[in-house]
Structures are given as structure tokens and as C-alpha cells.
């Protein structure tokens, strides 16, 4: 499963007047982590040692789950080391991944790592040769049912399975930052990492819920046009989309993006140009946004009708090339006029 994360612009807009403690001050943190940038806004009476905590969180995530770090637990596991004792972070992400794998009928599958590398989207150089014979040979190592977590040991059906948590680990890292702020009794914050978000409470300065914007997937390079803004009320948000990477069918005029289908191993056309998911935590929002891009509009809409804890905003293209939008009722309630 591959996708490009679109930029999400944070818009601090006033939507609800609330009373707040004048003692709380707005505090901000900015930096780079996990191959992208982050920004955090929070309100607290006292300064908290956030920078040190962030360094610790991101280091733990990298050491546990980064396929770009040779010494990480996941890299050692991918090389066939069956004695790696995985930490709590790895165990939690594994369990969340299995949940989304089941609910998405296999469209979210972290065992696609070899396919990701074959198409040139992973840490290994590529793309490499892509044909039916090669893909078939790699598909024997794909399938989350071929993994089992036994306490702190990961059991594989075959040592050649290549695990890749990149489509969920960033969201989980955001959740860890949120847990840290919660532990410091911070009631109002907005965390953004690589376009993914976790919000709690209010933007105290504006007397409003945190309000964020979603980029228009059809805009040209250099443009910054929004297709929607929403109030983020104590939820997480993740957006997936091949922004500015869509292709047009010359016969029908339909717009498509390409993503790896873990059920076939091939990159396939998807009528979804953008998916924005709201969930109780960012790991789930991250994973489902990835799954929906592979599933396409119809299957995504079906899953959303069955999952009460998810809301989503889908931008898709019809066979005639017309771009349309669909929002679940819960998402629609949060949308604001541009």
C-alpha cells in the first residue's frame, strides 16, 4: 500500500465561545521526526519538558518499528531473527493492525513490505522488475494471518515475511505524544505530524474547537486550495491521497490514483483521490485511511456504514471523470463553510 500524504493546513478559526482559565498560556513546539515535520500547540499554566519527551517517544518508535533503521526490532525481524523480544509499542501496533486487517477484509496488511520495496517505495532501492511471475513469488509472503504474537515474540509462518508498519506507526507516535500531554494534565492541545492530527479540548485563545483544513486533491503544484474545513472535537484525523499524482483515463476521462492492492500484489486503479478519516486515536485513523485508498469508494463506503467509531470524507472520481465528495453523517456535522 502506497500513498503520498497531502499537506493539511491548520486553520485556527472561531466556532464556539467557551470559558477558559486565563492562567493557561499557549505554548508551541516544532521540529522534525520520523522523516517529516511536526507542530504542537497546547495550553498549560506551566512549561512542561516537551522537547525531551518528544525525543524519547520518537526514538522509541524508530527503534521499535522503523524499517529505515537497520538496528531496529522490526528490521532485525525482517532479516529473519526469531529471538527479538518486541516492546509494548510493537505489540500495541501489531494488535491494532490485526484489528484493521480484519475489519478491512485484508486491504490493510503490514506484510506487504516486500511489495512496497519491489515498487520502490520502501527503504530498499527500486523500483525493481515488476511482472506477474515476480509478484506471484512475493505474494506467498503476504498475509497477516501468517503472523502470531506470542507474548513478546513474533512468530512467522516463514522467515521471509517482511513487515512494514509505516502506514500506522506515525499515527501511533502521535497518540503517544497525546498520552504524554494527558499525563501532564494538559486539557487543550493539537498535535500534527506529517499531516496527521490529534486534538483534545479547545483552541483556548480563539475560544473554539480546533479547526483544520483539507487540501483540494485536484489543485496544481504551488496552489493551496482547500476543499473542506472541519472542527476536530477530541478526535484524531488522518488523510491519505495521491495528491497531484492522479491519472486520467483517455477514453472515459475518469481520474485515478494507483496504490498497491495487498490481495493481488499489483498496483491498481482507485477512484478515490483523497480519504480523510476521523477515529478515536490516530493509529486507527492512519491505518483505515490507507486501507480505504486500496479499497476504492464503494467498499470504503460499505465499511464505514458498519463502523460506528469511524467517520470519513471521501473525494472520488466517477467513470465520466466527474469529481464528487461523500461525507459520513458524523463528518458532515463537523464541516464548516470555507
Give the tens place of pLDDT for each residue, 292-327.
Answer: 999 999 999 999 999 989 999 999 988 887 889 999
Phi-psi region of 253 (alpha: psi -120 to 50; beta: other; left: phi over 0): left
How far is it, in rounded angstroms, from Cα 143 to Cα 169? 19
* CB atoms closer than 10 angstroms to residue 28: 10
Q: What does the mean pLDDT of the chain come to?
A: 86
Q: Is the pLDDT of residue 177 over 90?
A: yes
pLDDT attached to residue 131: 79
DSSP character string of 108-140: S-GGGHHHHHHTT-SSS-------HHHHHHHHT
Among 103-117, 160-174, 256-270, which stretch is predicted with the lowest mean pLDDT? 256-270
Greater model confidence, 95 or 116:
95
Q: Which residues contact 52 (CB under 8 A, 6 or more apart)?
A: none
Give the pTM.
0.87
Output the nine-digit C-alpha cell for 35: 522523516
- Torsion over CA: 307, 308, 313, 315 (sign): positive
Kindly state the average pLDDT of the residues 71-95. Answer: 97
pLDDT attached to residue 132: 86
Length of the chain, in residues: 338
Estimate to the nearest angstrom the gap between the alpha carbon of 202 and the chain centroid.
23
Best CA proximity match to 311, nearest among 238, 216, 243:
238
Task: List the beta bridge partners of residue 37.
Answer: 32
Kindly state the average pLDDT of the residues 226-233. Answer: 87
Output the nine-digit C-alpha cell for 194: 506529517
Range of 211's domain?
Answer: 1-338
pLDDT attached to residue 47: 87
Q: Based on C-alpha coordinates, what's the Rg of the chain?
A: 20
CATH number at residue 222: 3.10.520.10
Q: What are phi and psi of 191, to 5 degrees?
A: -110, 130
pLDDT attached to residue 117: 79
Q: How many domains does the chain have?
A: 1
Amino acid at each position: 500500500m502506497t500513498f503520498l500524504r497531502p499537506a493539511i493546513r491548520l486553520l485556527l478559526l472561531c466556532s464556539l465561545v467557551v470559558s477558559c482559565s486565563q492562567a493557561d498560556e499557549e505554548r508551541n513546539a516544532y521540529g522534525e521526526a520520523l522523516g517529516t515535520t511536526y507542530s504542537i500547540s497546547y495550553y498549560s499554566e506551566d512549561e512542561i519538558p516537551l522537547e525531551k519527551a518528544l525525543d524519547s517517544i520518537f526514538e522509541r518508535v524508530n527503534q521499535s518499528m522503523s524499517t529505515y533503521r537497520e538496528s531496529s526490532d522490526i528490521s532485525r525481524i525482517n532479516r529473519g531473527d526469531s529471538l527479538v523480544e518486541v516492546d509494548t509499542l510493537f505489540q500495541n501496533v501489531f494488535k491494532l493492525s490485526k484489528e484493521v486487517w480484519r475489519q478491512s477484509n485484508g486491504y490493510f496488511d503490514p506484510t506487504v513490505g516486500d511489495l512496497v520495496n519491489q515498487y520502490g517505495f520502501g527503504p530498499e532501492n527500486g523500483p525493481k522488475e515488476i511482472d506477474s511471475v515476480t509478484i506471484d513469488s512475493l505474494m506467498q509472503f503476504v498475509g497477516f494471518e501468517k503472523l502470531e504474537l506470542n507474548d513478546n515474540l513474533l512468530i512467522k509462518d516463514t522467515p521471509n515475511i517482511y513487515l512494514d508498519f509505516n502506514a500506522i506507526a506515525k499515527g501511533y507516535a502521535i497518540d503517544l505524544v497525546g498520552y504524554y500531554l494527558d499525563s501532564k494534565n494538559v486539557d487543550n492541545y493539537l498535535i500534527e505530524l506529517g499531516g496527521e492530527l490529534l486534538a483534545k479540548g479547545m483552541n483556548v485563545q480563539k475560544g473554539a474547537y480546533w479547526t483544520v483544513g483539507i487540501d483540494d486533491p485536484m489543485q496544481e503544484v504551488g496552489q493551496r486550495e482547500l476543499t473542506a474545513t472541519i472542527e476536530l472535537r477530541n478526535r484524531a484525523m488522518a488523510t491519505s491521497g495521491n495528491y497531484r499524482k492522479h491519472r486520467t483515463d483517455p477514453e472515459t476521462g475518469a481520474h485515478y490514483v494507483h496504490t498497491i492492492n495487498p490481495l493481488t500484489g499489483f498496483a491498481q486503479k482507485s477512484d478515490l483521490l483523497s480519504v480523510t478519516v476521523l477515529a478515536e486515536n490516530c493509529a486507527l485513523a492512519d491505518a483505515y485511511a490507507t486501507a480505504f485508498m486500496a479499497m476504492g469508494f464503494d467498499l470504503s463506503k460499505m465499511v464505514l456504514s458498519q463502523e460506528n467509531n469511524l467517520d470519513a470524507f471521501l473525494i472520488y472520481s466517477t467513470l465520466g471523470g466527474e469529481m464528487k465528495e461523500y461525507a459520513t453523517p458524523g463528518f458532515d456535522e463537523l464541516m464548516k463553510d470555507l
